[in-house]
Homo-oligomer: A and B are copies of this chain.
Amino acid sequence: MTTRTTSRTEPRSRLSRERVLRAAIAHADAGGLEAVTMRRLAEGLGVAPMALYRHVANRDDLIDGLVDIAFDEIELPVAGADWKTAMRQRAISLRDVLLRHRWAIGLMDARANPGPANLRHHDAVIGNLRAAGFDMAMVAHAYSLLDGYIYGFALTKTNLPFDASEEVAEVAQSMLEPFPVNEYPNLVAFISEHIVKPGYDFGDEFEYGLDVILDGLERARDTA
């Protein structure tokens, strides 16, 4: 019991920007960004809605805070390592963060007010590529290709209207049901002969594509 002040003061529960952000992340992870409403947040924290505005300027500022927390969760590329290893690991880490915090996907590169974790991350990636002999133009090429792919893959995987591979078959069937049989023969063949087969998992595609990209970038750097 740290009771230095006279009266009992607050035994716990004092609000703070940190507590608000943590509650917001929990809501967002569970129900998407739209589940993050000031009223629900306040209720969960046992506080009136307007109390939140003492700690965040408005909903947009709150979201800026969420995004920087997400950036902070990305493993920075290991400084000394081979660039390909380092980029591969940071790509996988970024993908993991995006799948853990689906709400972040459209936001990570969209904030006009980036936080420190955001800037630190980009600084480290650029430094790693530069150290590996990429010139500025190749850094720009590599960054846009890698991040485009990573964000796009996470976006696609997150948005797929099914979760587990067991559901695929029924979802696919209900999608095609309203249309004449054989209207889309290639699509039907692709789904029935490959996608619904045991062992296929869309999530596995990520590393295949990543390696195609990394190999391509290496070749481009070496022939430049």
Residues of A participating in the B interface, judged by any CB pair closer than 8 Å: 105-107, 109-114, 116, 119-120, 122-124, 126-127, 130, 136-137, 139-141, 144-145, 147-153, 155-156, 159-161, 171, 175-176, 179, 183-187, 189-190, 193-195, 200, 202, 205-206, 208-209, 212-213, 215-217, 220
* Complex copy number for this chain: 2
A–B pairs, 26, beta carbons within 8 Å = A105-B106, A107-B159, A110-B159, A110-B161, A112-B175, A119-B184, A122-B184, A123-B184, A123-B185, A124-B186, A127-B185, A130-B189, A136-B193, A136-B194, A140-B194, A141-B205, A141-B209, A144-B206, A145-B209, A147-B152, A148-B149, A148-B153, A148-B155, A148-B156, A155-B155, A213-B216
A interface: dominant SS: helix
A109 B159 Cβ-Cβ under 8 A: yes
